[in-house]
Amino acid sequence: MSIKPVDVDSQTLAQVVVKGLQEKKGEDIVILDLRGVPQAVADFFVIATGSSDTHLQALMDSVEKIVQKEVWQSPWHIEGRERKLWVLMDYVDVVVHLFQRQTREYYALEELWADAPMIVVED
């Protein structure tokens, strides 16, 4: 028996990702809505900060688990697992960026994509 992914829109998927981040106390969670940005690589970026390598691993595991459980989807690709400074989880229409604080401040994705509406997720 094969399991077919649930047909879910990208906004719902982004919300499921946020739920996974909140379960493991992801910090400074924001959603960038890129749907109106010309030539954007995804519909949404979900960005969060972790306080350590271990915290980033917990965030990554939580997102992967809850997305698999609720919408039966797995990331197409994950980058940065080893170094855990910036972990990118690619769900195609939703890209998850998990950063250590210093790395997040350095790359400042929110500023790079400043023309995208930003939703700040409350704790």
SS3 84: coil
- State the pTM of this model: 0.92
pLDDT at 109: 95
Region 85-100 average pLDDT: 97
The confidence band for 75, taking pLDDT boundaries of 50, 70 and 90, is very high
| Domains contained in the chain, CATH given | 10-120 (3.30.460.10)
Q: In what order do the strands lie in the sheet with 118-120?
A: 77-79, 86-90, 94-100, 44-50, 27-33, 118-120
Instruction: Give dist(CA 12, CA 44) in Å, integer.
Output: 10
Give the model's pLDDT for residue 123.
75
Q: What is the pLDDT of residues 17-69, one digit of tens each?
A: 999 999 999 999 999 999 999 989 999 999 999 999 999 999 999 999 999 99
Alpha carbon distance 111, 6 (integer Å): 33
Q: What is the pLDDT of residue 6?
A: 59
2 pLDDT higher than 50: no
First to last CA, the chain: 39
Q: Which of 71, 88, 70 is nearest to 79 (CA)?
A: 88
Question: What is the reported pLDDT for 5?
Answer: 57
Residue 37 makes CB contacts below 8 A (sequence gap 6+) with: 113, 115, 116
| Residue 123: Cβ-neighbour burial (10 angstroms; 0-12, 13-18, 19+) | exposed
Average pLDDT, the chain: 93
